[in-house]
Structures are given as C-alpha cells and as structure tokens.
Structure 1
Amino acid sequence: MHLPRVATSLASLLGASKPVLTPRQFEPDSSVYIDADTGLTFASYTSDRSIIFRVAIPDIIPADLIYDTVLQIVAPIDVGWAGFAWGGHMTYNPLGIAWANDKEVVLSPRIAYGYYSPPAYTDSHYTVLKKGTHVNATHFQVTAKCTGCSSWGDESTGISNIDPEYQTTLAYAYGNTKVDIPADVQSTFGIHDSLGHPIYDLAVAKNAAFAKKVAALVAGEET
C-alpha cells in the first residue's frame, strides 16, 4: 500500500493532473459505509484529524467515464475548512472545499494551481443535499451531488477521469484556521495544516438506481 502513496506524493509535487490508479492488490484505506440519512452506500475514509470523506457513485459507469458522484464530508466543528481532491493531489483537478457558516455548511468548487487560496472552478457543480447536510455542537456535515468531478481537463492539459474498476488514490487537506469570510462561497483561506492521499476502492460505493435516488434527494423526497 505504500508504493501508491509515494507515487501520488511525487505526482503532487510535479503538479500532475491524472489520478493514480492501482490494481486491486493492496488493502484500500476506505471501507464501505451505508448512510442512514440518504440511503446511499459510500466508500468512506477517516483522516487522523477525524475528518470523514465519503464518495458514492452509480452502479453502471458509462464508457466515457463521465458520471455524477456524491461527496460527503463530516468534520469536527473546530476544523476551519476541509477539502477533497478528486484527482489524488491538491493541484490541477476538481476540489470541494467545505466549512461551517453558523448553522449552515458552505461547499465551494475550486481548483488549485499552487500554494495560495484556490480560485473557483466552473467546470464542476455541487448540488447540496439537504438530507445529509447539517451543523451541530460537535460537527458539520455536507452531502452533495457533483457534476463534473469524475472527468476533467482538456486537449491541452490532457483528459483525466476516475475509473472505479481500479483502486483510486484520492486526496484531502484541511486547515484549522477559519476561512476569511464564512458566508461567502468564494472566500479566501489559508494554506492547509495537513493533507493525505488515501486509496479508495470505489467498487463498494456503487449504488443501484443512483440517478433516481439522488434526484429524489435533490427534490427533498424520501428515498
């Protein structure tokens, strides 16, 4: 399991854009999780800061590997912000940055190009699911459908995508300092305090009738 971690760290330093895919020969860092709130099945990973990053996907993946996903982040209330990177490193791929704003949670699509506050990323879109999103005295949690998180890039940079037939190295980062303007989805924030590159087995995150279930959640209906 250590070899993919090393490869991913090097890719991050070099600014590569493709996720690291490995055959199913290593024990993944993720585990299966069935969410009682949404009814979705996720691949789930918990960081050493007790931040949980979960991914759910459809059971039928199209040949072009362009499909919607669901991201769920659960973080201790004293975490300033928590970010998830779909490409296995923190640069040149879609990010989802979450933070608490009083009794609400903000989820901002970003893309990073270096060690400064990442700008907005317009090629991905998050639709926050009310069921599965909340703030309480100890944690904040956000659950959202992402369109544009399974495939990214262009002819000049190359097309990257997530193929759940392989184990996939994804990435996360977090900062203990609050963002500058919590009510602003475009708020700037400081550099991360820590990051990681867990290996996910997304085969366990497949959901039958995914589109129907997510559409019902978007509409606020019971699944």
Structure 2
Amino acid sequence: MQLLQSIARAAAFLGLARRQFEADSSVFEDLETGLTFASYTSDRGITFRVAIPDPVPEKKVFDTVLQIVSPNDVGWAGWAWGGHMTYNPLAVAWANETNSVVLSSRIAYGYFSPPEYPDSTYTILETGTHLNATHWQVTAKCTGCSRWGDDDMGYTELDPQYHTTMAFAYSDTPVDAPGDETTTFGIHTSLGHPIYDLATAKNSDFAAKVGKL
C-alpha cells in the first residue's frame, strides 16, 4: 500500500512539474494568414511557429501548421515535432536557386542525411510563403505530425494540455541540390530544444482558415 502511495505521489509530482515548465515560446498573431502561433526565435535568428486546431480531437490526430522564417544565409533549417532529431517527423526547409522555398518531410535514424518520410505530408500554403532580399518564409500544413509511431514501438502524440519540447536544427552549409526536394545535406551546425506552450497555438475554425490559404 505504501509503495502504491509513493508511486502515486511521484506521478503527481512529475505531472505538476511538467505543467510548471516555463515555455520558451510566445504568442504570435499572424496578420498575413490570420492564424495564431506559438513562436520561438533561435539565437541564429530563425523563427519557428506552430498552429493547431481548437478543439483538439480526443484521439490527438489532427493537422498542424508549421511556419519557418529564416535569414537567407542559412543553408537549411530543420524542425522536429518530437523534441529530438531521430525517430519522429522532421521538416527541412531551404530557399532554392529559383527564388522559391522548398520544404521536405524527413525522418532521421542517425548522423547521416535523413531519408524522406511518407507518413507526414506537408502542403505548402501560398499565403505565408515567400522570400525577399534578406529572409525566406515558408508556411505549411502538415498531415501526420500530431501523432506518429507504430504498433510495435508505440505511439507519441502532441498534447496541448502540457508544455511540449520541440527541436530545431540548422546548417550554414546549403543542401547539395537546392532544387531537389529529395536532396542530401550535411549535418547541422547547431540545434536547440525549446519548450512550447501549444495551448497558445490553438485556432478555432482551423480547417476553414487553413483552407483559404
């Protein structure tokens, strides 16, 4: 009985601690897309934003929107939904040689160029995607980024009830073939693990708003 009580107290403490982590993200109201994002800017000046629907389905299977804003001299910028660089959906984005932005769905299994990941599909949204003399920006809907895994290894899902650790990486070296979505590229220059408050990223009428973009 005492053991069970100790386990319960430990679980309650961990749950409380998880809720009390201070988020690194802040709220960003995007006038261009009409979406509300949880937003974080790295020390390299790359901004990563996430928007989700409100309400979130009980089974935690829902589309998300990812927005990345990067200086032009960054070779590529990467995003990891699971808070680390391996075994979770990644998005890798860069500006290509024809003055547009490429975003590629990947998954990493080690310290080599990550292959494509068909279980997560990104749809680049015309509104919110552009570049100028100093920066590029991509805004994309992701289907398959809120829940991932398999029956053997189990599933991981985003839960806006708690603060969530995300991850980003970037390289100052360009990808090998900027016009090719399946191109290879070298290891990151740096990475980070910001904590996001996804409760601040909720958007009512999410599907309708995204559908207009």
User: When the two structures are superposed, what TM-score results if normalisation uses the length of structure 1?
Assistant: 0.87
Q: 2:182 aligns with which of 186, 203, 214?
A: 186
Q: Does residue 173 in structure 1 map to residue 169 in structure 2?
A: yes
Give 1:27 deviation, angstroms: 1.7
Q: 2:51 aligns with which of 48, 51, 56?
A: 56
Give 1:82 deviation, angstroms: 0.1
Mapping for residues 67-106 of structure 1, pairs under 5 Å: 67-102=62-97, 103-106=99-102
Secondary structure of the corresponding residue to residue 149 of structure 1: coil
How far apart, in 2, do the equivalents of 1:203 and 1:104 lie? Answer: 32
Q: Specify every segment of 5 or more residues in structure 1 that has no aligned partner in the other structure, as ranges.
A: 1-20, 218-223
Q: What's the Cα RMSD here? A: 1.1
Q: Specify every segment of 5 or more residues in structure 2 that has no aligned partner in the other structure, as ranges.
A: 1-15
AA matched with 1:199: I
How far apart, in 1, do the equivalents of 2:68 and 2:31 lie? Answer: 15
User: Which residue matches 2:30?
Assistant: 35
Contact 1:32–1:205 (CA<8 Å) still a contact in 2?
A: yes
Q: Does residue 129 in structure 1 map to residue 120 in structure 2?
A: no
AA matched with 1:101: N
User: Which residue matches 1:15?
Assistant: none
Number of aligned residues: 197
Write out per-residue CA displacement over residues 195-217 of structure 1, whole angstroms, 9 at most, x where no aligned residue.
00000000000001001101111
Mapping for residues 8-47 of structure 1, pairs under 5 Å: 23-47=18-42
Larger radius of gyration: 2
How far apart, in 1, do the equivalents of 2:204 and 2:184 lie? Answer: 38
Secondary structure of the corresponding residue to residue 24 of structure 1: helix
How far apart, in 1, do the equivalents of 2:17 and 2:156 lie? Answer: 15
Q: 2:104 aligns with which of 101, 108, 131?
A: 108
Q: Does residue 147 in structure 1 map to residue 121 in structure 2?
A: no
Give 1:63 deviation, angstroms: 1.1
AA matched with 2:122: Y
Contact 1:41–1:206 (CA<8 Å) still a contact in 2?
A: yes
Give 1:22 deviation, angstroms: 6.1
Give 1:158 deviation, angstroms: 1.1
Secondary structure of the corresponding residue to residue 22 of structure 2: coil
How far apart, in 1, do the equivalents of 2:107 and 2:157 lie? Answer: 15
How far apart, in 1, do the equivalents of 2:18 and 2:31 lie? Answer: 31
